[in-house]
Structure 1
């Protein structure tokens, strides 16, 4: 028999080369013929249409499973194998041998994932049946081992397949298989038993195969006598079944003996079950008796323990409900003088602890509803209400008496000829004695502090307003500063307009008012927030504050911190960090009551300073800004509001001054004759210099806004006055803008806002100079430059060669114009100088204006000469150099 292509090693290597890089291993490769013809009548034609192909079965090893593929290889034009199609064996559903092929070598493979099932699948034709069986056997074997199932096989006899496999075991097992996890291919000989199991597992069993072999060995007949063989097998099967039934009937006595033995065993088991039930009942009764005894013992033991614990708890509760007689007497009828404050504080502490112990979770809920506990809680509440009422009434009267005593003594306030700095050290020392009492009152009844705070604020407000009023009155009376007689920017004359009176004492008085009272108000606000328990830090221990330093070593005139009252300082970090919105609102409302009305005395000082010298608002504004920026956002919030109101009032007063000055500019210059330099132009530099002297570093915006308003009104009025006589408008404008620049030159170098207006005036000056100079030039040489303008206008519409032929622009006209304009040009230039000098009141401007005029005239004449040279190339006129020499000589 010819060698099969399945054993061709070269073919297998070619297939492996074709699928190199796919990580697949070729298990088997065999040559086939591909066709789509139908065997039978057109069998010859089908064979003529067949194409040579190679079918290769390959596998790919994964981590947990193995994939199997059927590859179709075709020959390229160079005779090299290349992949044509790829099928996955897991989709192989049917293997069918074509019945019309008499050789049995043609078959089809059906896949269930093909898109078009209407197209007939390709037919594969082998060289012989052995090659066909080898390929199909390999495919079925891989499907069973790898995929765990077999495709449907049609047209192949199972018995014939099994016989062929048995006879050709040595041939079909020479195939390449996959092995260990390294993925490398090896050649292995599959033994006969493995092959038999793989193929015949689905066909016949091992026992059936042995019986079949014995049966075939008994009879000698050809394979063609299949019907006679089948009949004989049926007869023998019937004989065997009859023998089996007879044997079963013969074994009946033995079965009866077994059944009798089972019945005896069942009776014994039932007796034993009955005895076990009896013992189980007796044991259950014993367990119940034991549990009952244990429960009674446990209850007795638990009752003993509970009784002991109850006695201890009742002892504690009775001790807790007892009210000490000394504390009860102190809370209901004791005095609040300084000597007895220690006993009052101790009584408050005991009452606080007792009330807390009566509240959940400090007391058990079962105790809370006891009658004795409820009665004792009611008694403690009565004690608390009585003590809070007595302490509140005492403190209200105490605050009022302290303030009344200070107000009745005139030595506490400023007097004629003597400014008295307010000193509240003694007042705070006396209040400090009751600081801890207020803490306990807040703990006992938080609502009780409301009336106390109002009483303290009402009393201290009277004292603060009296001190501020007396200090402000004496401050104004003792300040020697006459009213500044200078009327700024007013267009009047007089010997007193340039005199300046030193009014620094006015702003110094205002600064002194702030220096004395702002720290005092801040301290009072901070002290009030601490003293009245607005979520402030803890108090200094009693030994260092309440009971120590009772006044003997205190110096009322000392410059030390007056707020060293046993209460820690407030800062930005802890002043209101833990304060609730309700407490913060209450604090602001109380501070309003404490300090309200004191701002009127500050306003009076501001208004008084404004009447003496309005410019002192600048320095007062700077002082106020410094104090405002130095205040913290703490309990002294009202002080910040006060400073903000003062800043607004000073700004309003200064704005009033600026508006009045602007009104003077508009009123006094409304009907002024246009001649010379305006008065406010001359005085503005003096005003700006004075304002810059009053700036103290933080009032820059206020002054810059005033500069903007002043200069804007000045320039607007200047333009309005200039329009009253257009003939001399430019001279009037350039003189005033020049005076503005000259007077502000030094200030403009250091003040950015004035520098902006300086440049604005400079531009307006240049524009006025240009208009005035052009007017003088055109007045003397109007015909000459009018002729040049006509030529320039025609150059937009016609060529340069055509211009000399236009009417009035011939060469003769040019000569006449030059003769008329340039004959006696020195006299014309002198006339320009005289006209420039005639109406100019500021002689210092004449040299610069004359230089500008000569330069402008020379530029215009040079343009005229260039124009004539282009239009009239053969005409001669005086050269530019001659004209420059002539101008330089004059």
Structure 2
């Protein structure tokens, strides 16, 4: 016999893993086939294709209560078990074994809580009768022990099941629990694994009574064949008795048959009557359908006529031109008092034009003569109104600006700086803002000439205001010109200390920007919105310029005209058109800014640094796309300031280069301390982001200074190193404090320090060799020979014998104190900067000791028997001088 799937441990593990709930304990799991039975017309049971499934019984304890579940699991595409159905056993009402199944392995489970009782329950087919009995007994035991009741059992004898359970008791076992999905324990006690059959469907007492009854019944029966013959005889007797009973009831059957015949006659008569009535009803139904068809056609014709009348009324309403609007569009005045009527007429005209265009008008009406004539009439009204309004606005803009230009009180005058105020101009322009928006809706091409007219008129006003303001600003600024030529070698070194204070110059430039840059941004923003450009706002909320706070609250009254024309619809072409118009609006005003920059440069070139920083701050604040001209103006100002400052730097560099041709001096050059003074002054002028401008000038200045210094030093090579070390030392001393806070100057400070050390080394070596040339020349010859000759053979070389060594020591070291004193005097002789002497002398002594120590080591290695003054003695001698 094949092993039952109920004993498959791997199947249990797969079921536990699929449920993945440690609180539920598995009782039994078994493989089944699922199908659904259907009853055909022949009343025979059919089957659908069977599907493999796994039935598993689980229990879950919560406190003192226990819940039992019947789970249906199916195989996924990858062959992995996954939950499909869940039934609670407390709702199990019926267990039925299919009697038509000859194998006896098919059964159904009925639940009283299923939503649709009309659908046939699934039929479960087991592999064997043993598997069937095993599962059903387990279900019934759980229902009785856990739930306290038994479902209805149909198609199987409970006595037969009890006997089977008794015979198969040792082989039925179910593990109680799989702890947390881990491996199943095979060493569980047998008392816990076996299903409890002591509490079977039939009690022990009932079973004993049944056995006694059966025993009494078969008592006296010797063999099975005799018993079978006896049963056959009893069966034949019972069948004969049934036939006799039927024959005795024949009169009753005759009466029933007569009643059936009379009923059949009545039914046939009724069928004839119904056929007659059906014909009459069919004729009547045809008549009613004909009447309804004619009635429906009349109703449809009435509805269509009504709809046609309504559509014609609407069309006539669209085609009608109110007389008051026609008068305003063709000949009305554009005075401020009449603007409300003009705007209303524009709104009506716009809506009327849209109303006769697709999709607002049915395409079927487009070819009607009345619609074509009305469209032509509206187009004529539109062109007439656009022409009249455009002509009026061009004249209006020109008259407003002419009036302001003719009044001198609008501009700066002698002794009085006048801040430009366009509040009244904008107030008067706002009156026609809605009119411009409607002109754009009617004809976009009409705004081009109007924009040019507005820009042309306002450009005259802005240029006049800037020119008068710049002239008065320069006239009222009191600042004497600073005549200092910062790096010119012919002037005294202390001339720059008392330079004239020229801060009023950069203050005047800052004031020019403070007044006019917000004004120009303001005008750009107002122009963009007033002339209906689809661009974002130029000034962020709250960004109000001084003196023109009303300008940012320009309620042009255009947002409620056509909300679809929002800022999000801007295009690059629109921005390009706006910047082109702003060029016409503001072009020429830059000349007055350039004049202020040139004027400030003539007074004090270093003020270019402050003006450069001020310009960069304003430039970084202009981020809006529509302020293109203002950013361009600030960029040009920044470039012009940079050019002017570069001009100053070039002139100063020319003065430095002249030193090469006209100055031949010893000591520190005059432009060294002058550059420190200039750098200090430039650092005071740095403002904002002008660090790059100053650092670039430092690079130019220092590069020319160092090149010029080297060229002047080459004119007298004898004193070149002394000249260089003095000047490089002076450069470091003058820039020590600035180099600690300015990175670019720190770089040049280190370059000068390296050049100073190199010049010191060369100069000191020259002095030492001048006094002790024979001594160190002898040492150099030994070092050269050591590359090719063994040390012990060097004393036998020509000119390097021990006698030659003694002669050289006698001539070089006799009176060494006097030689060292002469070395000090020679170091002091041409040194102009006396403060450098102590450090130079210390370097000279250290270098001499290092060289002498190297000589002493050579002598000890080559001439070990010869005695020379030790290094310690020489150090003491140097310290005593």
Q: Contact between 2:768 and 2:848, CA under 8 Å: does it hold in 1?
A: yes
Give, in whole Å, the separation in 2 of the partners of 1:748 and 1:597: 44
Q: Contact between 2:493 and 2:670, CA under 8 Å: does it hold in 1?
A: no
Give, in whole Å, the separation in 2 of the partners of 1:841 and 1:441: 85
Who is 1:484 aligned against?
482
Which one of the candidate residues 416, 440, 443 is aligned to 1:442? 440
Give, in whole Å, the separation in 2 of the partners of 1:416 and 1:368: 69
Which one of the candidate residues 376, 379, 385 is aligned to 2:377? 379
Could you tell me how far 1:872 is from its partner in structure 2? 1.4
Who is 1:563 aligned against?
552
- Say whether 1:635 aligns with 2:649: no
Could you tell me how far 1:323 is from its partner in structure 2? 1.4
Which one of the candidate residues 642, 647, 651 is aligned to 2:642? 651
Could you tell me how far 1:774 is from its partner in structure 2? 0.3
Q: Within 5 Å, give how 1:642-681 maps onto structure 2.
A: 642-681=633-672
Q: Within 5 Å, give how 1:268-667 maps onto structure 2.
A: 295-493=293-491, 497-498=495-496, 499-535=498-534, 560-567=549-556, 577-667=568-658
Q: Secondary structure at the match of 1:484?
A: coil
Give, in whole Å, the separation in 2 of the partners of 1:22 and 1:421: 95
1:597-620 C-alpha deviation (Å, 9 max, x unpaired)? 111111111111111111111000
1:558-616 C-alpha deviation (Å, 9 max, x unpaired)? 6634332215999xxx9964312221111111111111111111111111111111111
Q: Contact between 2:423 and 2:548, CA under 8 Å: does it hold in 1?
A: no
Q: Contact between 2:411 and 2:418, CA under 8 Å: does it hold in 1?
A: yes
Give, in whole Å, the separation in 2 of the partners of 1:702 and 1:523: 30
Q: Contact between 1:619 and 1:694, CA under 8 Å: does it hold in 2?
A: yes
Who is 1:793 aligned against?
784
Give, in whole Å, the separation in 1 of the partners of 2:546 and 2:463: 21
Q: Which moved more, 1:790-799 or 1:648-657?
A: 790-799
Q: Structure 1-normalised TM-score?
A: 0.65
Could you tell me how far 1:466 is from its partner in structure 2? 0.7
Distance 1:767 1:558, change over 3 A: closer
Q: Contact between 1:624 and 1:643, CA under 8 Å: does it hold in 2?
A: yes
Q: Contact between 1:537 and 1:568, CA under 8 Å: does it hold in 2?
A: no
Which one of the candidate residues 815, 827, 838 is aligned to 2:818? 827
Structure 2 gap segments, 5+ residues each: 3-8, 12-30, 34-50, 53-174, 176-279, 538-544, 560-564
Give, in whole Å, the separation in 1 of the partners of 2:839 and 2:756: 12
Give, in whole Å, the separation in 2 of the partners of 1:405 and 1:338: 18
C-alpha RMSD of matched pairs (Å): 4.0
Give, in whole Å, the separation in 2 of the partners of 1:582 and 1:293: 68
Q: Contact between 2:535 and 2:626, CA under 8 Å: does it hold in 1?
A: no
Q: Contact between 2:319 and 2:374, CA under 8 Å: does it hold in 1?
A: yes
Q: Contact between 1:575 and 1:634, CA under 8 Å: does it hold in 2?
A: no
1:782-815 C-alpha deviation (Å, 9 max, x unpaired)? 1111111111112222222222222211211111
Q: Structure 2-normalised TM-score?
A: 0.66
Who is 1:200 aligned against?
none
Could you tell me how far 1:295 is from its partner in structure 2? 4.7
Who is 1:71 aligned against?
none
1:12-54 C-alpha deviation (Å, 9 max, x unpaired)? 9xxxxxxxx999xxxxxxxxxxxxxxxxxxxxxxxxxxxxxxx
Q: Within 5 Å, give how 1:729-748 maps onto structure 2.
A: 729-748=720-739
Give, in whole Å, the separation in 2 of the partners of 1:792 and 1:566: 95
Who is 1:763 aligned against?
754
Distance 1:496 1:470, change over 3 A: farther
Distance 1:823 1:62, change over 3 A: farther
Which one of the candidate residues 827, 844, 869 is aligned to 1:853? 844
Structure 1 gap segments, 5+ residues each: 1-11, 13-20, 24-60, 66-181, 183-281, 539-555
Could you tell me how far 1:292 is from its partner in structure 2? 6.7
1:84-135 C-alpha deviation (Å, 9 max, x unpaired)? xxxxxxxxxxxxxxxxxxxxxxxxxxxxxxxxxxxxxxxxxxxxxxxxxxxx
Q: Secondary structure at the match of 2:553?
A: coil
Give, in whole Å, the separation in 2 of the partners of 1:298 and 1:431: 64
Could you tell me how far 1:724 is from its partner in structure 2? 1.6
1:492-525 C-alpha deviation (Å, 9 max, x unpaired)? 1359943411111111111111011001001000
Could you tell me how far 1:536 is from its partner in structure 2? 5.8
Q: Contact between 1:665 and 1:714, CA under 8 Å: does it hold in 2?
A: yes
Who is 2:178 aligned against?
none
Distance 1:796 1:404, change over 3 A: same
Q: Which moved more, 1:287-296 or 1:790-799?
A: 287-296
1:228-249 C-alpha deviation (Å, 9 max, x unpaired)? xxxxxxxxxxxxxxxxxxxxxx
Give, in whole Å, the separation in 2 of the partners of 1:814 and 1:285: 159
Could you tell me how far 1:375 is from its partner in structure 2? 1.4
Q: Contact between 1:625 and 1:647, CA under 8 Å: does it hold in 2?
A: yes
Give, in whole Å, the separation in 2 of the partners of 1:817 and 1:888: 24
Larger radius of gyration: 1
Could you tell me how far 1:298 is from its partner in structure 2? 3.1
- The count of aligned residue pairs is 630
Q: Contact between 1:523 and 1:563, CA under 8 Å: does it hold in 2?
A: yes
Distance 1:460 1:633, change over 3 A: same
Give, in whole Å, the separation in 2 of the partners of 1:635 and 1:393: 27
Give, in whole Å, the separation in 2 of the partners of 1:839 and 1:557: 66
Could you tell me how far 1:367 is from its partner in structure 2? 2.1
Who is 1:772 aligned against?
763
Give, in whole Å, the separation in 1 of the partners of 2:526 and 2:740: 50
Give, in whole Å, the separation in 2 of the partners of 1:781 and 1:577: 88
Who is 2:806 aligned against?
815
Who is 1:261 aligned against?
none
Could you tell me how far 1:320 is from its partner in structure 2? 2.2
Distance 1:512 1:679, change over 3 A: same
Could you tell me how far 1:379 is from its partner in structure 2? 1.4
Who is 2:691 aligned against?
700
- Say whether 1:870 aligns with 2:861: yes
Give, in whole Å, the separation in 2 of the partners of 1:848 and 1:865: 26
Q: Contact between 1:575 and 1:635, CA under 8 Å: does it hold in 2?
A: no
Give, in whole Å, the separation in 2 of the partners of 1:686 and 1:494: 13
Distance 1:576 1:714, change over 3 A: farther
1:166-197 C-alpha deviation (Å, 9 max, x unpaired)? xxxxxxxxxxxxxxxx9xxxxxxxxxxxxxxx
Give, in whole Å, the separation in 1 of the partners of 2:748 and 2:566: 48
Give, in whole Å, the separation in 2 of the partners of 1:409 and 1:346: 36
Distance 1:352 1:768, change over 3 A: same
Could you tell me how far 1:346 is from its partner in structure 2? 1.4
Could you tell me how far 1:284 is from its partner in structure 2? 12
Q: Secondary structure at the match of 1:669?
A: helix
Q: Secondary structure at the match of 2:549?
A: coil
Q: Contact between 2:412 and 2:468, CA under 8 Å: does it hold in 1?
A: yes
Could you tell me how far 1:316 is from its partner in structure 2? 1.9
Distance 1:348 1:725, change over 3 A: same
